[in-house]
């Protein structure tokens, strides 16, 4: 199944901040998120067809 979505690409500085401050904390708690490589970080606005 292909997941199609509308997203905003994040700037490198924002990706660096997310990596250093957010991703480490998310990995410590039980939340239902899909972690991706820093180069692929984006802000998903809407999934299409769901």
Say what the pTM is. Answer: 0.62
The pLDDT confidence band at residue 34, using thresholds 50, 70 and 90, is: confident
pLDDT more than 70, % of the chain = 98
Domain count, the chain: 1
More confident residue, 15 or 23: 15
Residues 6+ apart with CB under 8 A from 32: none
pLDDT at 2 over 90: no
Q: Is 14 left (phi over 0), alpha (psi -120 to 50) or beta?
A: alpha
The domain of 27 spans: 5-47
**Rounded to whole angstroms, what are the CA distances from 18 to 1, 12, 25, 44, 48?**
28, 10, 10, 15, 25
| pLDDT for 11 beyond 70 | yes
- Length in residues, the chain: 50
Mean pLDDT of the chain: 86
In angstroms, rounded to a whole number, what is the distance separating the alpha carbons of residues 38 and 12?
Answer: 9
């Amino acid at each position: 199944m292909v997941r199609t979505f509308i997203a905003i690409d994040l700037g490198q500085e924002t990706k660096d901040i997310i990596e250093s401050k957010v991703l480490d904390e998310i990995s410590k708690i039980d939340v239902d998120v899909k972690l991706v490589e820093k180069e692929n970080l984006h802000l998903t606005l809407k999934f299409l067809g769901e």
